Chain A
């Protein structure tokens, strides 16, 4: 090795420094007449079934809002980054949105994991963050700048237990996924069960990639006195549980799934075994079956038509969460007649009677979700389609 070699490293260092500073040149400067809204979504990766419809929904509606003249006299500029479901990446993009893009608000965070990783960034920067993640941890305890639109897993448990109580089924078994969604909802269900006099006699779990749950279900079958089975989970797991459940001849026992499987693909995956399965879900899935008097009917039917016409794909509740988040934010900006982050935050907190795809939202300083149990409809699968269960039924 020749002696003068450090120079080469210094050159390499210079190149590195240049390449880092080059990042800043890439972000174009925009005129004053736009307002930047940021979003970090899991468009690719294992949570893409959440991020993809969210991404499409945001882009579609921002275009519509801008075509109609924008908000508070300004056009919206949407900045979306894809975190691939990786919390660490999400955190970096959140910093980028705040520091580099200087967004005034954020609608995003597809999963609870990515949302929780991003929360400190928005809290520190005092920028409103409307999350699209499910778990109750996002808004409990209440954080000043963090809101969310999807129903919590706690509400799903309550809705299921409420229905169980009405049917006088109080001794249940629970089988849950060990993924984030399943584990979080399981914990909430265990917590709220006593309030509804529901007794969980036995519990089983399965891994997110397991392909057979007969063992766990056989154990449940062997426990005397089980009146219903509840399955917190999402993805393919619940579909396999449903199939195995029918294969083991347990169909006489009512099976409850969660809002995590509220998409047509669940019915397709579970096939005939899905008949009679009940689950809590947003009105969006049964928009056309809602009575005309339902205030949500117009919103959900319009969203469904717009989404399906633009993307040529069936609507999912996840895209609906992004719709709700975007319009809660835009309404707040209109009311504040400003795009100042702090004023917008205050107005978001004052959201009252907002009709979204997820329900009717009324927020308060102690409630940054603003939905109650009426936001959930109890559905039953009949003839391969969703049907509304009548209250008390």
Chain B
């Protein structure tokens, strides 16, 4: 137990150290931008991993919540006169409520049926965002007001690097802590065997719904952060491809592993930046790398690496 605890804090401290020390090797602000994107995406991926990796439920429409968060940050200040931070909270609240209402019926589905239902949910959110152009600016998106706190305006990749880093640290900390709570244990039981979990007295539907709502809030916050960072939103952020990207981050990094989500996000964000030198072969290579890593590291990058290291030590 003590070992687990200190391991958990070890990881968090290591993460904090990376966030704090990385800027020392950044030659230009462009790297702040890439790293901030990694932190924000990793934050969303950690949330989705709670649902997929811990509670064992799939969601192919998670970008829907991401989009709601992003558009909350855009619409709140522009149409409702809300301060950015309040809009972020409202967005997260709305996502939670929607996740609760939608999750109640659809989380009773399993496997492919659940996947299709969540996919449909994501498509609906994207459709509403695209069509309601009075509010959302339609398919071309809309600008987002800069985040301002007590008269101080957050602009530039440098500032956002620290905000996104802080967000990620908080998100990782909560996800780690969740593991050790009765809820976290219930999630794991649910993941291993729904029937066994039910037999031991776990309210399966309630915990599934909890995981869904938590994941939705994570995605919504990440969406708001990205929108404010970019100063611009468009419906792609709520689209199917983005949902798939989030799922890929989780699976590639390692289901159930918090560090895995961060690594998965880092790979998926940074790889296209590296691969630009290959010009038109870029997408081909990206696909190839992902296929190869899924064949040889079936559990995901981090769990596989962990297994290899502990095997080497034994």
Contacts and interface: CB of A to CB of B under 8 A. Distances in A.
B283 A44 contact: yes
Interface stretch (A12-20, A219-227, A255-263, A271-279): A12-20
A178 B37 contact: no
B232 A183 contact: no
A116 B273 contact: no
B11 A9 contact: yes
Contact of A26 (B17, B277, B306): B277
B35 interface: yes
B276 A88 contact: no
B179 interface: no
Contact of B140 (A23, A116, A124): A116
A168 interface: no
B262 to A, nearest CB: 9
Contact of B14 (A10, A92, A95): A10
Interface in A107-124: 112-113, 116-117, 120, 124
A377 interface: no
A82 B282 contact: yes
B22 A17 contact: yes
Nearest to A182: B139
Interface string B138-157: 11110100000000000111
A13 B14 contact: yes
Interface in A1-35: 1-3, 5-6, 8-10, 12-13, 16-17, 19-21, 23-24, 26
Interface of A: 1-3, 5-6, 8-10, 12-13, 16-17, 19-21, 23-24, 26, 43-44, 81-82, 84, 86-89, 91-93, 95-96, 98-100, 112-113, 116-117, 120, 124, 135, 137, 178-180, 183-184, 187
B3 A2 contact: yes
A89 B309 CA distance: 35
A87 B3 contact: no
B4 interface: yes
B295 interface: no
Contacts of B266: 16
Given A6-B11, A20-B22, A82-B282, A92 B33 contact: yes
Given A16-B18, A20-B270, A113-B236, A88 B226 contact: yes
B7 A6 contact: yes
B237 interface: yes
A49 to B, nearest CB: 15
A124 B155 CA distance: 10
Given A10-B14, A178-B131, A183 B27 contact: no
A91 B232 contact: yes
Nearest to A86: B236
A100 B32 CA distance: 11
A93 B273 CA distance: 8
Contact of A135 (B140, B279, B306): B140
B34 interface: yes
B43 to A, nearest CB: 15
Nearest to A114: B234
Contacts of B181: none
Contacts of A3: 3, 6-7
B234 A99 contact: no
Nearest to B30: A99
B10 A9 contact: yes
Contacts of B157: 95
A183 B31 contact: no
Q: Which of B22, B33, B266 has the most chain A CB within a 10 Å cutoff?
A: B33
A352 to B, nearest CB: 31
Contacts of A24: 27-28, 31
15 contacts: A5-B10, A9-B10, A12-B259, A20-B22, A20-B31, A21-B27, A43-B280, A82-B280, A88-B230, A95-B33, A100-B28, A116-B232, A137-B140, A183-B138, A184-B138
B159 interface: no
A20 B22 CA distance: 9
Nearest to A44: B283
A99 B157 CA distance: 11
B140 A180 contact: yes
A88 B37 CA distance: 9
A239 to B, nearest CB: 20
Given A13-B18, A17-B25, A113-B236, A84 B34 contact: no
Contact of A96 (B231, B273, B279, B305): B273
A92 B34 contact: yes
Interface in B125-139: 130-131, 133, 138-139
Contacts of A116: 140-141, 143, 232, 234
A117 B3 contact: no
Contacts of B139: 113, 178-180, 183
The 8 closest A-B pairs by CB, nearest first: A6-B10, A99-B30, A180-B139, A99-B28, A21-B25, A13-B18, A9-B14, A100-B30
B259 A87 contact: no
B290 to A, nearest CB: 15
A116 to B, nearest CB: 6
B35 A20 contact: yes
A184 B313 contact: no
Given A113-B139, A184-B138, A96 B274 contact: no
B29 interface: yes
B13 interface: yes
Residue from A1, A2, A96 having most chain B Cβ neighbours under 10 A = A96
Contacts of B33: 92, 95-96, 99
A179 B130 CA distance: 8
B234 to A, nearest CB: 5
Given A87-B234, A180-B138, 20 more contacts: A12-B263, A13-B17, A16-B266, A17-B18, A20-B25, A20-B34, A24-B27, A24-B28, A43-B280, A81-B276, A82-B282, A88-B230, A89-B272, A91-B232, A99-B28, A99-B29, A116-B141, A178-B138, A179-B139, A183-B139
